[in-house]
Amino acid sequence: MINLLEIDKIAYIRVENGKILSTRSKGKTKYYIAGGKRENNESDEETLIREIREELNVSIISSTINYFGTFKAQADSHNEGIIVKMTCYTADYEGNLEPSSEIEEIKWLSYADRENVSEVDKVIFDFLNYNGEFL
């Protein structure tokens, strides 16, 4: 059953040198962890591969995909009570990261950038910081 109060998203967690890969869409001021909503009956893996190809112009290596965690928070620019659920995965990729589709900018963020991200990304930032993965 579909929960109309919950937005189901898949996200790509990539941390390098104590910073997390983030994106900013055209016309937006906040940064978001790359990923998006599934289309049709896509699996998590299919959604991750498609979204990262569309947004970052790289190919996820499917054999390296690992579940990272699921995080929930109030959805940005939605009515109170609408929750975004982000199921997150890590993976290696092939190619050179470059903004594509609706993405205007790719940026590596540190914990100090926490106030510039969505509510669910803040939860992920806190998790990463708690686990010592941020600078």
Q: Are 17 and 38 in contact (CB under 8 A)?
A: no
Tokens at 86, concatenated: 């982000």
For residue 107, the model assigns a pLDDT of: 97
- 130: number of Cβ within 10 Å: 9
Chain centroid to CA 2? 21
Q: Is the pLDDT of residue 34 over 70?
A: yes
Q: How confident is the model at residue 3 (pLDDT cuts 50, 70, 90)?
A: low
Structure tokens given for 7: 């937005």
pLDDT at 86: 98
Q: What digits encode the pLDDT tens for the residues 44-73?
A: 999 999 999 999 999 999 999 999 999 999
Q: The domain spanning residue 99 has which CATH number?
A: 3.90.79.10
Residues 39-51: tens digit of each pLDDT: 999 999 999 999 9
| 130 part of a folded domain | no
**Which residues, in sequence order, are bridge partners of residue 112?**
none
The answer to whether residue 131 is domain-embedded is no
Mean of the per-residue pLDDT values of the chain: 95
Instruction: State the residue for tokens 């109309």.
Output: 4
Write down the pTM of the prediction: 0.93
CB 106 within 8 A of CB 32: no
pLDDT of residue 76: 86
Structural domain range at position 65:
6-124
CA 35 to chain centre: 5
Given a cut of 80, is residue 4 above it in pLDDT? no
Residue pLDDT, tens place only, 71-117: 999 998 888 899 999 999 999 999 999 999 899 999 999 999 999 99
Share of the chain above pLDDT 90, in %: 89
DSSP code of residue 121: H
